[in-house]
Amino acid sequence: MTCSTGENSVESKDALAKLAPLEAVLFDVDGTLCDSDPLHHYAFREMLQEIGFNDGVPITEDFFVENIAGKHNIDIAKILFPDDLPRGLKFCEDKEAMFRKLASEQLKPISGLDKVKKWIEDRGLKRAAVTNAPRENAELMISKLGLSDFFQVVILGDECERAKPFPDPYFKALEMLKVSKDHTFVFEDSVSGIKAGVAAGLPVVGLTTRNPEHVLLEANPTFLIKDYDDPKLWSALEELDKNKDA
């Protein structure tokens, strides 16, 4: 699957147009439905500094993007506490509690989310949230964003044999929705998530919410957008509609 950025909008339009008739749209949660990464970064930074990680020097955003963003907590625990996995898992559990407190007060949707939600609902498409987040986090974020009735299925990495970056969560979403990968696409914002979608054989529209464009491109998304108001996205969806009508 070939990446397409702003310079090649024809290719990005065609990448979705071939999915007609579209059956389903799958969404990651963190960073894709809402700009939650700053809250995760803050929680990790504060709590790691508190225990003297990295000699008490706060972790940078680059460290967060490279080692934490989009990853499953087991993988994060292995990176942060390679010699003491149980401690790492307990740390991640405590950090998630701090994140939920922050999220309950500060969570905001990605710009244009309501618009793309209406587009999907108006066409009667199936939809699922597919996330590496723990269930409590996923349910809180989906609820705070007013999307509890929007998603027919919520797939957790925890409940699959392998979490993202493996394709298992996306395979499970396709299976539960009873849709074909040839008529479904994905919204993702992390390298881990994009890799999972691509490995499942799905076109992935990447959001540059917090992760640098050049980093996301390495995971081979179909094309990248800034948010759900991005003209590139609506050009592609318009082309998809034309193909369906044809």
Q: CA 195, CA 226: separation in Å to the nearest integer?
A: 19
User: Which pair of structure tokens corresponds to residue 159?
Assistant: 């409940």
Q: CA 203, CA 199: separation in Å to the nearest integer?
A: 10
* DSSP E strand stretches across 73-169: 126-131, 153-156
Catalytic residue among 14, 30, 75, 229: 30
Residue at token pair 């034309």: 242
Active site residue 30: yes
Q: CA 47, CA 169: separation in Å to the nearest integer?
A: 29
SS3 221: coil
Question: 156 - beta bridge partners?
Answer: 131
**Those residues with Cβ within 8 angstroms of residue 49's Cβ, 6 or more apart along the chain or in another chain:** 56, 57, 58, 59
**Those residues with Cβ within 8 angstroms of residue 184's Cβ, 6 or more apart along the chain or in another chain:** 19, 22, 23, 24, 25, 26, 174, 177, 202
Please check whether residue 180 is in contact with residue 151, taking contact to mean a CB–CB distance below 8 angstroms: no
Closest CA to 189 of 130, 232, 229, 101: 130
Please check whether residue 140 is in contact with residue 103, taking contact to mean a CB–CB distance below 8 angstroms: yes
Catalytic residue among 14, 28, 35, 245: 28
List, by residue number, the catalytic residues.
28, 30
